Chain A
Amino acid sequence: MSDVAHPVTRPTPVTTEPRLARHILIGTVVALVAVLLFAPLFAVFAEALRQGWAASIEGISSPDARAAIRLTLIVAAIAVPLNAVFGIAAAWAITKFDFRGKAFLITLIDLPFSVSPVVAGLALVLLFGANSWFGAWLIAHDLKIVFAFPGIVLATMFVTFPFVARELIPVMMEQGRAEEEAALTLGASGWRVFLTVTLPNIRWALLYGVLLCNARAMGEFGAVAVISGKIRGETTTMPIMIEMLYNEYLSVAAFSLAAVLALLALVTLFLKSLLEWCYADLLAATRRH
């Protein structure tokens, strides 16, 4: 036996691929990610700055662009908190109580993930449009939903609907009910239990969900395109404005506005990664396994 002749310093890596295969795989992955993900991101900034900073800043400071930025911020400021409240309520009802039809309910909450945003917009137009069931009543009361601000908020809420609930449900499911029940037996009120026991346990998952919800809310295009009517300066959110500028061959202005949204996406990704690295154990169980 020649075992003694050359002492084994490292166990043979039987649970990894041959060295060459590893290098090829890493090379493929890096190349594809560079082409598929980094190149488009880079292109946004390159196109935005094609004629220098001045032209770029001018592009995003026109009255229409400023109105679009303002509208996007206001819509997100309304839709995101509403969906957060919904998400918390849904997660509380689903994880703290046992009732029939729970699985079906979760499927319904997930529904907006598989429905095309354009179909969502269409459904809202059919529900609230001029010749719909509600339409006549809305016109009689001088309320505008379609081609107006409330429609944009509803469309945004539809597409971002599952985000917060989806993050909270697995976390609260895993944490169980024992802590809340203990607090209750010690005499805490329902709200106190929620604020001092539940909320601290779910805050990072909540923040995570809100972050993703916000990114999608500010960037939603299809559903808003259908319901907003694209009235310049009134119902144009940033993504809609980008489309208009692009179609008018105002490339620098379109890409400058796009760069603002891309920066927002980068901030979102950064915060998301930070949350994942720092609080991995407190985020959704699905990511921890």
Chain B
Amino acid sequence: MTPPLLSIRDLRTYFYTEAGVARAVDGVSFDVGAGETVGIVGESGCGKSVTALSILRLIQPPGRIEPGSRIEFEGKDLVTLGDEEIRHIRGNRISMIFQEPMSALNPVFTIGDQVAEVARIHAGLSRRQAWDRAVETLALTGMPAPEDRAKQYPHQLSGGMRQRVLIAMALIMKPALVIADEPTTALDVTIQAQILDLLVHLQKEFGTSILMITHDLGVIAETTSRVIVMYAGEVVEQAPVDELFARPHHPYTEGLMHSMPHIGHDQDRLNVIPGTVPAPTNWPHGCRFRERCPYSWERPEREHPPLYDVGAAHVSRCHLAVEPERRNNPHAPLVVVEGVGAA
């Protein structure tokens, strides 16, 4: 068996704040195979974005990747790689698409210039060559009239077009892995679908692996083949996408699914998982989800659950795996109905 493209083992990224040590990512392990699309899903504050930034070593002080963490990519450990070498990986072998297409572009340069910059950094192309390549790449992302658009500034473009620019910047070097951090969150729903289609299409064309980070299970269902659910800095469930939607195991995953609004259901209120993610400076002992979990009993309070095998390539960090009868008598509803406006 060939080794996976990206292999993360026991990744811990801690932030040393005045309020204490925030263990934002706390022992995360997973793989991404070549050409595969893997989704990471979870609420804000669960550690998914920090995981993404850690892969590219973009964590700034007071945060740091703890020793012992390993991020293996194309035979190199990114955690211990020199600054010069990691720069050669960024944008070249692994690139990233950011959430806010407006603020991720420099307002004072044309978009063609900004796409070309990536090629100038990594391929050592001349200004002219890099520009031509930028226009080609913009055309690939479905940018209309790319030669003219390339000469425009970010503020002259719509949100969807700006996101195409960011995708062009991420793909111009044909990287092996693209990390997409909430790539469609800031966009209109109709544009969201176009951008997702575009990513799937380009992924097939280039054979690029994608790590899709999102809080939106709809995005996961549409684009990924395997899903990692994160909660409180940990992986709590991992499964192939069909398996996960058919048989969610972890109560948190179940809660996320019950929180999805369904078209056709006459709903003017949303289902939510009660409570919020606990503070990363003070994760609860035992199971980190137990305070919000309708099934929790003594064991999750005492014992931090390991990742149990619960099916084919399906793991879950929940003691229900060994005491499944506990699921039959929840002491509270899994999700509650809350006013749309209530935070």
Tell whether A pairs with B: no
B residues whose Cβ falls under 8 Å from a Cβ of A: none
